[in-house]
A and B are shown apart, each in its own frame.
Chain A
Amino acid sequence: MVVIVNQDTKTQLTPRIRLSSKITGLIFWGAVLTGLLVVAVFIKQSEDDQRLKQEYQAMMVIHELENVLAPQQVIDDIPKNNLQLQDVIENFKGKEKIAGVLVKIGDDEIMIGGVPKKSLTKTIHSNHIVDSKHGNKMIATIYFDPSYNNIYDGRKNLIAILGIISFAFGLIMNRILRSMLTNPINNMTETAAAYASGDKTVRFDDSKNDEFGFMSGFINKALDSSENMHIQLEESFHKQKIAKEKAEKALIDLEKAKDRLVQSEKLASLGQLTAGIAHEIKNPLNFINNFSETSVELLVELKEVLSLHLQSIDDDAREEITAIIEDLSGDMYTIAKHGKRADSIVKNMLMHSRDGGGERVVTDINNLVSEAIGLAYHGERAVDSNFQVEFQTNLEDNILNVMAVPQDITRVLINLLSNAFYATKKRKNNSHDDYLPIVQVTTKSKDDGVKIQIRDNGTGIPEDELKNLFTPFFTTKPTGQGTGLGLSISHDIITKQHDGIIGVNSIEGEHTEFIIWLPSFIADGKRFHASDTHIQKRKDDT
């Protein structure tokens, strides 16, 4: 079976593969972006927390300062070396991560604690304590300990971890989705592509207990049934092909049978015509033969009568008369001779009109064949004592019996055999090498009948002569050696008289083979073999 791979199918597959990659890519980057968003929100949250905390601590600081300085809501200056203030700040320094506070009111300011490097600061105004000179509010600038940032740094790690986790999550999701979604899709696509490119045995992986597995199972079932259908179709196609071939062969056989029938009809009508002509010629021939013979007799009598009177005639006249009588006798003799020849031709021609002449009897064809071989061989030897031939006979044991007119079948067999001898002799005369004439005679039961093959390795028959072989008067022998009626009469005997078939095949320079088929004898729906003959005979006797 030839599978044509559609190039379009392949190009169509690419976008689908891209689609599945896109899905996993989208999921991956989605996860990463979501992670980053979470991180960003987290950072924002941390910053807000820090700011609020700073504000709260700053308020606590200002509140404590207000408590310490509360009695004087309006002050001129900040009391230097105020232990209470010192205590407040120290207290905060201990509890909170505050390094120092710069308290300012008007132009007066005091720094409690230290100012560290890279310190975060928060400035806050007091609502209660105001400068007496200018009415300015007290301002406290709080310096946070740099280690305060650690809170933020700790969160930074967390953020990084979160980022990594989200990336890892994206990656894992990608992997999971790939194994759950993309790979099955890709596998299915590859399987489908393999199927499309002709491998009808591939099946989708239906081992997974998910939609892909189920879907693959269903598709496999569909493929199996399609494959079965395909096989059935192939089978039915094959059957159809065989049926078609059979029908075609039957048609050819029918045509051949038709041709054969037409040919045999033609030959039959030719045979009838021949017989008709023969009859018509017979009558005039009757006169020719008889009158020529009586003429010969009359001339003899004339000579007798003249002999008494010839002495009285002069020598010249006597010689002339005698010569004329001799010539006339010779001519009459020749006419009688050729009349007889014509008569024998006519007799042969009349063989065509001898329908139902002989009686058909149950016949063992092997006996007839053996007999005919003997008769033909001895007949040939009688004419040509140098004649040599090797017989190769292969007669089937216990062959089917036929209903035949034995003398007519023998006539056909002798005719075919003597033709075979003629062909081998002709070939032998034409060749100088060691040519050995061989005539093969085979009989066997075939198609509810008997097949007789007579094959010679003689000159063979040219193709253009084969079609005329059974036509009356067709002969290739020199004039006087053949009437051209032997095979046409044989054809009549086999086809008309015995409902058989006669055919010939030949290769010029190689061989000629005549094949005769005769239907077998049937009695009570049974066919009998040669060995059954006695049964039949006994039946006839009773």
Chain B
Amino acid sequence: MSVSILIVDDEKDVGDLFRRRFRREIRSGDYTLHFAISGQKALDIIAQEVEPELMLILSDINMPGMSGLELLTEVKKILPHLPVVMITAYGDDENRKKAQDFGASEFMTKPIDFDDLKYTISMLVKKKVA
């Protein structure tokens, strides 16, 4: 079963980066990546009910328009059990605490440690499937 992941970031290069980093996983079919350039676009994708079913959202916090934390709140309304990992350059305690309060599963800081991220994803998927 392929793990369907939605990546939300206002920088398009982030999508390329994930695709490059998870190249092997994508090729082997372990991961299926979706990319949204804004919070609103992310909500649209969720509404379209992409295939396969979304297992995880990775979202930036500082974005123009809807912020990552606002998106998190919205997602938790629609899909309360969908894990959301917040990834931000602003790894301060205030953001960390907010993310936790709003129901984020994990809080990671940029630059992204992809080995760590892969481990986190596998743990979250295990938890969700269980």
Chain A contact residues, CB within 8 Å of chain B: 279, 282-283, 285-287, 289-291, 294, 298, 339, 343, 350, 353-354, 356-357
Contacts and interface: CB of A to CB of B under 8 A. Distances in A.
B92 A357 contact: yes
Could you tell me the dominant secondary structure of chain A's interface residues?
helix
Interface residues of B, number: 15
A290 B111 contact: yes
Residue from B13, B112, B114 with most neighbouring chain A CB atoms (10 Å): B13
16 contacts: A279-B89, A282-B111, A283-B89, A285-B110, A285-B111, A286-B17, A286-B110, A286-B112, A287-B17, A290-B17, A290-B20, A339-B111, A343-B111, A353-B92, A354-B92, A354-B93
B65 to A, nearest CB: 17
Interface string B83-94: 000000111110
Contact of A286 (B90, B92, B93, B111): B111
Interface in B74-130: 89-93, 110-112, 114
Interface of B: 11, 13, 17, 20-21, 23, 89-93, 110-112, 114
Contacts of A282: 89, 110-111
A331 B15 CA distance: 24
B113 to A, nearest CB: 9
Contact of A289 (B13, B20, B111): B111
A66 B125 CA distance: 194
B21 to A, nearest CB: 6
B35 to A, nearest CB: 15
Contacts of A339: 111
A290 B89 contact: no
Nearest to B9: A283
**8 cross-chain pairs, A with B, having the tightest CB-CB distances, nearest first:** A286-B111, A282-B89, A286-B110, A294-B20, A289-B111, A279-B89, A290-B17, A282-B110
Contact of A290 (B11, B23, B93, B112): B112
A283 B93 contact: no
A283 B90 CA distance: 10
Contacts of A286: 17, 89, 110-112
Given A290-B17, A294-B20, A294-B21, A283 B92 contact: no
Given A283-B11, A286-B89, 5 more contacts: A285-B111, A290-B112, A298-B20, A339-B111, A357-B92
A531 B23 CA distance: 61
A45 B89 CA distance: 143
A291 B13 CA distance: 10
Given A282-B110, A285-B111, A291 B20 contact: yes
Contacts of B91: 350
A357 B89 CA distance: 16
A359 to B, nearest CB: 10
A354 B93 CA distance: 8
A492 to B, nearest CB: 14
Contacts of B112: 286, 290
A285 B112 CA distance: 10
A283 B17 CA distance: 12
